[in-house]
Amino acid sequence: MALRAGALDAHLPEIARIVNDRLAAIEAIEELIAASKLHVGDKVRLGHNLKPSYLHGRPATILEKDGDKWIVRLDEPITGKFANADLRLSARQLEPA
């Protein structure tokens, strides 16, 4: 492949920009699709794509939409950092329950 062999080295900055733009577009589309499935009051589960990992799969309820983020309240608060139980997440970090 020409890219691996270095034949396109002079074009790497442009290739990187194009790849980054494409990845951003895919991410935006995935976010729109995920958001279209969510509504205030819905029961959801926290996705496996967020940190810390002990939040994965935790049940929550959507309280409101704030710009491009969703405010959710954990059904069971977690002692420590997440004691207030409210989180601000993207739609892709939530799974309909």
Give the start-to-end residue ranges of the domains of the chain. 2-96
**Closest to 85 in 3D by CA, of 61, 67, 69:** 61
The structure's pTM equals: 0.80
Give the CATH architecture of domain 2-96. Roll (2.30)
Positions of the chain with pLDDT lower than 70, given as ranges? none
Position 22 scores a pLDDT of 98
